[in-house]
């Protein structure tokens, strides 16, 4: 029986899981992330949930349910603090340990479970041998964005760090430092600091990675005898990596793994030239057999608070280094999408207006990007029936989809709604040098328009542009 296709985002349209950390436990891949709420005014409003898929079918994701609630931590009984990006490892005792930080509180919590996706119970806060909680000593580095590794030799390493000084009002403690990415070794109890935190990824100066300095999003993996550290740089829209022969230092810069806007690919260095809207991102590496993937997230709804999980295949150079992945619509599919069938517009990997793209983490993004297209959905958070779509396609707006296996001339049907008239242009190249033109006129409800298109044969991108007056919502398209 043929497997279903896998798309980006790889979870259902109504699910908003940023900061996804993928891990293989047994014969399944488990993704642990924070949990945004659609339409929320801030990050990570919901409790932690888990999704998993068989290692041999990354299209078949299963919802595992809520694994840890905000108010399970005794320092957050009212649930007012937000659960930011977590990580999980299987400890030397065989149990599973969940590491988390509450927003900008400056404390790292730990929960434990006997199974990868069961009900985690609060264990304690990362602390010094004398019982002082990490983040409550004068001069402590600010605990944030945990990445955890239980090494082959039984030693346990915890990575952390943030670029911007946390507001004193949030931490309640004014003496925390933010010098970059840190590492500590933990005792076998998975809570007690064995070696004092040390900065191994300075955010500036000697030892930093010029042009791609550490910002946040610590994530750690081991590949043979090499340690691979993934992080978000000061650009925010990219995930980079560094390599070392040991877990507690000596890392050298490896390069960019993925950028939301495909910046640093094909000579594209300026944000205005990005192929998608930019904001923060966070994720981790997954290795299945000889195939590596990078997990990350994208923004929706014209802000940074409704983010969705994406992933891309990685290719390696002969020397073992990774090449930067291109953002696609088919990251976990194992190849291009079929050149026939109905596809939701939400799987677009490229999106821009006639004025280019912008940042969702800038000042007043809704106002600044009022004339731009964006991903959104009908209904409120976690309504399974809500359909996601691209809203506000105005003159010159382009949605790009990569990649399809085409076999010559096709009928292309586009489903739109809104109030606009003009044409939909369809091309396999972003310059629309050769394009099919489909006249459209939308006044209110959904309407489908069709035309013939010959993109040739082979693996091709598909770009769809609205040209005209007014604004339309792009729901879906069909190839047949």
Q: Tell me, what's the pLDDT at 169? A: 60
Q: Tell me, what's the pLDDT at 399? A: 98
Residues in a beta bridge with 148: 158
Q: What domains are defined for the chain?
A: 21-331 (2.115.10.20), 341-479 (2.60.120.260)
What are the φ and ψ backbone dihedral angles of 54, each rounded to 5 degrees? Answer: -65, 145
- Residue 471: pLDDT band (50, 70, 90) is very high
For the beta carbon of residue 286, count every other beta carbon within 10 angstroms: 23
- Residue 302: pLDDT band (50, 70, 90) is very high
Check whether 230 has a pLDDT greater than 60.
yes
Q: Residue 272 in 3-state DSSP?
A: helix
Q: Let me know the angle formed at the C-alpha of 167 by 166 and 171, rounded to the nearest 5 degrees.
A: 80
Q: Which pair of tokens denotes residue 105? A: 């509180």
C-alpha–C-alpha distance, residues 350 and 261, integer Å:
8
CA 360 from centroid of its chain's CA atoms: 14
Q: Which pair of tokens denotes residue 397? A: 């707006």
Catalytic entry in 216, 238, 326, 415 = 216
Region of 340 on the Ramachandran plot (φ > 0 left; ψ -120 to 50 alpha; else beta): beta
Model pTM score: 0.97
Residue 143 contacts residue 107 (beta carbons within 8 Å): yes
Q: pLDDT per residue over 47-58, tens digit each?
A: 999 999 999 999
170: enclosing H helix or E strand? helix 168-171
Check whether 383 has a pLDDT greater than 90.
no
Residue 288: how many CA atoms within 13 Å on its side-chain side?
A: 20
Check whether 1 has a pLDDT greater than 50.
no
Query: Is position 213 annotated as part of the catalytic site?
Result: no
- Average pLDDT of the segment spanning 10-39: 97
Radius of gyration of the chain (CA): 23
Which residue, among 101, 383, 345, 63, has the nearest Cα to 218 in the 3D structure?
101
Residue 354 contacts residue 272 (beta carbons within 8 Å): no
Q: Which pair of tokens denotes residue 453? A: 């298109």
Catalytic entry in 15, 19, 73, 238 = 19
Residue 111 contacts residue 69 (beta carbons within 8 Å): no
Check whether 75 has a pLDDT greater than 90.
yes
Check whether 2 has a pLDDT greater than 70.
no
Express as a percent the part of the chain with pLDDT over 90.
Answer: 93
- Average pLDDT of the segment spanning 292-306: 97
Which residue, among 237, 197, 199, 231, has the nearest Cα to 215 in the 3D structure?
231
Query: Is position 19 annotated as part of the catalytic site?
Result: yes
Residue 389 contacts residue 343 (beta carbons within 8 Å): no
Task: Identify the DSSP state of 347.
Answer: G
């Amino acid at each position: 029986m043929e497997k279903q296709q896998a798309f980006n985002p790889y979870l259902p349209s109504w699910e908003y899981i940023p900061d996804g950390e993928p891990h293989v436990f047994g014969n399944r891949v488990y993704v642990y992330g924070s949990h945004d709420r659609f339409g929320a005014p801030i990050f990570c409003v919901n409790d932690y949930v888990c999704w998993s898929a068989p290692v041999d079918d990354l299209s078949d994701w299963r919802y595992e349910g809520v694994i840890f609630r905000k108010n399970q931590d005794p320092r957050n009984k009212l649930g007012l603090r937000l659960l930011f990006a977590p990580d999980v490892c299987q400890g030397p005792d065989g149990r599973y340990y969940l590491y988390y930080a509450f927003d900008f509180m400056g404390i790292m919590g730990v929960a434990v479970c006997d199974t990868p996706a069961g009900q985690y119970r609060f264990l304690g806060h990362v602390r010094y041998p004398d019982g002082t909680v990490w983040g409550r000593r004068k001069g402590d580095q600010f605990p944030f964005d945990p990445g955890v590794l239980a090494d082959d030799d039984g030693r346990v390493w915890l990575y952390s760090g943030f670029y911007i000084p946390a507001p004193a009002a949030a931490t309640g403690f004014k003496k925390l430092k933010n010098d970059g990415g840190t590492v500590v070794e933990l005792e076998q109890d998975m809570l007690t600091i064995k070696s004092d935190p040390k900065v191994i990824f300075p955010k500036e100066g000697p030892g930093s990675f010029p042009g791609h300095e550490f910002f946040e999003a610590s994530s750690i993996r081991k590949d043979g005898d090499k340690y691979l550290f993934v992080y978000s740089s000061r650009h925010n829209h990219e995930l980079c990596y560094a390599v070392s022969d040991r877990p507690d230092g000596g890392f050298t810069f490896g390069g960019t793994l993925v950028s939301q806007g495909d910046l640093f690919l094909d000579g594209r260095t300026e944000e205005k030239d990005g192929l998608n809207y930019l904001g923060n991102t966070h994720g981790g590496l997954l290795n299945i057999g000889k195939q590596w993937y990078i997990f990350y997230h994208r923004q929706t709804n014209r802000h940074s608070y409704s983010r969705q999980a994406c992933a891309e295949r990685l290719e390696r150079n002969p020397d073992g280094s990774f090449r930067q992945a291109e953002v696609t619509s088919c990251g976990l599919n194992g190849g291009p999408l079929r050149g026939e069938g109905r596809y939701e517009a939400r799987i677009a990997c490229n999106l821009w207006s006639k004025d280019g793209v912008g940042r969702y983490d800038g000042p007043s993004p809704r106002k600044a990007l009022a004339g731009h297209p964006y991903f959104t959905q009908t209904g409120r958070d976690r309504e399974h029936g809500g359909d996601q779509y691209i809203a506000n396609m105005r003159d010159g707006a382009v949605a790009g989809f990569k990649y399809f296996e085409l076999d010559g001339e096709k009928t292309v049907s586009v489903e739109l709604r809104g109030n606009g008239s003009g044409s939909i242009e369809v091309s396999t190249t972003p310059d629309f040098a050769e394009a099919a033109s489909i006249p459209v006129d939308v006044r209110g409800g959904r309407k489908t328009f069709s035309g013939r298109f010959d993109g040739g044969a082979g693996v091709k991108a598909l770009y769809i542009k609205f040209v005209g007056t007014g604004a339309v919502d792009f729901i879906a398209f069909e190839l047949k």
